Every structure is written in structure tokens, then in C-alpha cells.
């Protein structure tokens, strides 16, 4: 599959894996439809994306937690931006690290609204057009947390388990159509993830990656582009990837060298 001139829609595109995906898809010559809450970051990225090879970039302000906003933004796209070929459901986050019986319910709401309901809202708005046009690929960002829960992260792990099952169900429902569905489940990736989880506590976030060589956002973006560019009859159902220093959500090798 060649991506030159195809429209790739990436949510949560202003940082981390989303921004890395934008860069990699730009190198493939894709037209980029980028969504995030932080429009200033999207605008700052645009020149480098065009320099990397994207012929066009359209940035939209979007908080996937709000169904009406998602529908309004998608319905309001210019006609030439509506034929979305690839959807990368990247928007997601974790909040807090606490025992379930001590958890902050607002943290739970934010994770569920973003990681589960936001994924559903965007997918519901985009996939009908893919079916109608007879082409499309949905890539959902999962996690090793979908496969094995870890202490103090039950709700986040539950949201990623939900993503895994939603992806599985959607793939089954797309049988008989040309629409492909993939989940990319990454382990530890060095992004703003931990800073967001700890609400800007950089020192605490840095300890997460101490004495470990984590994945980089570009590693995940490479896997996504690889999955999307397979021949049209090939569907990569799942990519499960970790750093060499991680076996699963619980087991890590920390080294001093």
C-alpha cells in the first residue's frame, strides 16, 4: 500500500507517539489530518511535516472525550479532507497510580472518557465513510497493560483491555469489507505519558525510565506505518512490542550500564 496523497487522521497528534506518527506518515507523502487539544503544538509541527514530505497538513482542535465535538469537527471538514484512508486512534492517557479503593474518581472518568469513549466516538464517525468508499485502515493504540494488569493501575489497564476488545470486535465486523483493523500494543515508551500520569511531576516521571532503555515514539510509529503499508489483502491484527528490558507489564530489567 502506497500512502502518497492519502489522508491519514491522527488523534492526540501534538506529542509523543502521535507526533512521531505524523512525522513518519509525512515521510510516506501522506496528507495529514491532525487532531489534538493543543493547537499551538500542531501548528508548530506543521513546517517540519511539510519539509519531511507531506503535501498538505490540516490541524483541528479536538478533545475526543466530547461526542458532539467529535461529530461537529468531522462533519465540518472541507470536502477534500473527508476521504480518510487511515485512522490512528492515538489519543489516550493515564492519571494517577493508586490502589483502586483509594483512587481519584475524576482520574477514572478522564481515562475512561478518553481511552474508551473517545476511541468509540472517533471510530463511529470515521468508519462508515471507509466502508462506503471501499477502503480504509483503523489503527488503535493499545498497551501491554491490556494483557496483564499491574498494581495501582487497574482502571488504566481496564481501559486498554477495553480497547483491545473493541478492536477485536470491529475487526470481526469488518469481514466482507476492505477495511483493515489493527491494534498496536506497546510497553514502556519514553513520552510525556508519565508526566501526564503524575500531573507534571517530572522528577517522579523520570524514575519510571531509570536504568531502562525504553522504546521511543519513533519505534511505535515505524510499527504502525509498517502495518498500514502491507498489501491490501494483509491485515496485521496485532503488534505487541516492548523494549528488550521489558517482558510484560510487571517484569523489567533495570541495569546500570
| Cell numbers that stand for 49 in this block | 511535516
Of the candidates 24, 44, 246, the one whose C-alpha atom is nearest the C-alpha of residue 145 is 246
* Catalytic residue chosen out of the listed positions 66, 121, 150, 156: 156
Measured between alpha carbons, how far is residue 159 from residues 31, 64, 105, 120 in Å? 30, 15, 14, 12
For residue 182, give the 3-state DSSP assignment.
Answer: strand
Long-range contacts, stretch 130-133, CB < 8 angstroms, 24+ apart: 130/84, 130/85, 130/87, 130/177, 130/179, 131/174, 131/177, 131/179, 133/83
209 is catalytic: no
Radius of gyration of the chain (CA): 18
Give the whole-angstrom CA distance, residue 245 versus residue 257: 12
Measured at the alpha carbon of residue 112, what is the angle toward residues 119 and 14, in degrees to the nearest 5? Answer: 55
222 burial (CB, 10 Å; 0-12 / 13-18 / 19+) is middle
Give the whole-angstrom CA distance, residue 169 versus residue 147: 16
Catalytic residue positions? 156
Amino acid at each position: 500500500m502506497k500512502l502518497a496523497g492519502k489522508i491519514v487522521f491522527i488523534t492526540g497528534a501534538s506529542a509523543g507517539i502521535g507526533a512521531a506518527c505524523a512525522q513518519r506518515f509525512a515521510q510516506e507523502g501522506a496528507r495529514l489530518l491532525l487532531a489534538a487539544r493543543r493547537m499551538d503544538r500542531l501548528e508548530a509541527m506543521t513546517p517540519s511535516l511539510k519539509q519531511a514530505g507531506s503535501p498538505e497538513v490540516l490541524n483541528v482542535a479536538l478533545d475526543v472525550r466530547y461526542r458532539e465535538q467529535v461529530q461537529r469537527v468531522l462533519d465540518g471538514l472541507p470536502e477534500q479532507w473527508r476521504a480518510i484512508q487511515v485512522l490512528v486512534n492515538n489519543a489516550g492517557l493515564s492519571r494517577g497510580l493508586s490502589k483502586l479503593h483509594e483512587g481519584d474518581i475524576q482520574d477514572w472518568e478522564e481515562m475512561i472518557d478518553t481511552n474508551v469513549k473517545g476511541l468509540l466516538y472517533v471510530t463511529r464517525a470515521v468508519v462508515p465513510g471507509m466502508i462506503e468508499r471501499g477502503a480504509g485502515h483503523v489503527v488503535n493504540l493499545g498497551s501491554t497493560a491490556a494483557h496483564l494488569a499491574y498494581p495501582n493501575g487497574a482502571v488504566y489497564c481496564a481501559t486498554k483491555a477495553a480497547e483491545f476488545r473493541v478492536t477485536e470486535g470491529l475487526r470481526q465486523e469488518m469481514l466482507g469489507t476492505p477495511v483493515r483493523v489493527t491494534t498496536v500494543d506497546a510497553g514502556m515508551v519514553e513520552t510525556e505519558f508519565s508526566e501526564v500520569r503524575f500531573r507534571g511531576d517530572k522528577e517522579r516521571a523520570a524514575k519510571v525510565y531509570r536504568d531502562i532503555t525504553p522504546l521511543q515514539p519513533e519505534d511505535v510509529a515505524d510499527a504502525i506505518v509498517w502495518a498500514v503499508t502491507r498489501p491490501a489483502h494483509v491485515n496485521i491484527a496485532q503488534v505487541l512490542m516492548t523494549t528488550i528490558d521489558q517482558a510484560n507489564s510487571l517484569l523489567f530489567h533495570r541495569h546500570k550500564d
